[in-house]
Copies of this chain bind each other. A is one copy, B any other.
Amino acid sequence: MGTKRGSAAVVGPGEVEAPPVRRARGARMAVLLGPEQGVPSFITRRFLLSPGAYIPRHRHPTIEHEQVMVRGEMVIDLDGEERTVRAGDAIYIPAGCAHSYANRGATEVEFLCVVPVTTDYATEWLEEPPDGAAPA
């Protein structure tokens, strides 16, 4: 844990931008709690995946993810194993684990993804961007 503390804050869903996820199709991400609030240890983000969205396979050598599905259903690939996850499911992706996300349903997917505060957020992409992807 760092020495920063920041101030107590409530951040409403309309108060944060959700720009497109680079190299992905139909995916947006908002930082809910992070540097702006002065968080010391971990960062809470919200992902929104439109129907047909795809975030190609990649891994973070030093960063884990802890996720909770809030709405919808998607297929997540964890080191080559596909799992269908739904609202209420929690997902742990350890550092080094290759993962991708696909919304094959007809409704938007929302999930939360918490990552450590770090100066070393490296990403190794293991697939080319899909058709219709946002710029790298």
Interface residues of A (CB under 8 A from B): 1, 5-13, 32-33, 37-42, 44, 46, 62, 64, 66, 68, 70, 76, 78-79, 81, 83, 85, 88-97, 99, 112, 114, 116, 118
Contacts and interface: CB of A to CB of B under 8 A. Distances in A.
A94 B10 CA distance: 12
Number of identical protomers:
2
Contact of A90 (B5, B10, B38, B81): B10
B1 A118 contact: yes
A20 B35 CA distance: 33
Contact of A42 (B38, B42, B88): B42
Most chain B beta carbons < 10 A, residue from A40, A93, A94, A96: A94
Contacts of A99: 8
B10 A114 contact: no
A116 to B, nearest CB: 5
A114 B114 CA distance: 8
Most chain B beta carbons < 10 A, residue from A33, A39, A96: A33
